[in-house]
Amino acid sequence: QVPLVESGGGLVQPGGSLRLSCTTSGSIFNYYVMGWYRQAPGKQRDLVATITNAGSTSYADSVKGRFTISRDNAKKMVNLQMNSLKPEDTAVYFCYARSWSMLDSWGQGTQITVSS
């Protein structure tokens, strides 16, 4: 397994936008699916969005129409564009990847706070 590193977290006003990036030192072709999860205080870690090796995407109902996941093979990067952010989006966001060997990797997490 290779490390996953998130960047792009921070504080944003409601209705604002942020973009998260997840990079790996290896090739993203090592993974058949990558994505983002989030965990708010006192809550379980929930799926936000995923993207497969073939480019198929899926989203949690709570973020559909607002978040967009994408991947850049050359840059070894998976991105999450977050628009129309709500206070309910406040959480620690984790990059996730599952390898062809069914091994899971997690990033360290980055804090997103949506507040006035």
Averaged over 88-115, what is the pLDDT?
95
d(CA 26, CA 76): 7
Which pLDDT belongs to residue 85?
98
Q: Is 79 left (phi over 0), alpha (psi -120 to 50) or beta?
A: beta
Which pLDDT belongs to residue 1?
62
Which pLDDT belongs to residue 3?
83
pLDDT in tens, 27-85: 777 888 999 999 999 999 999 999 998 899 999 999 999 999 999 888 889 999 999 99
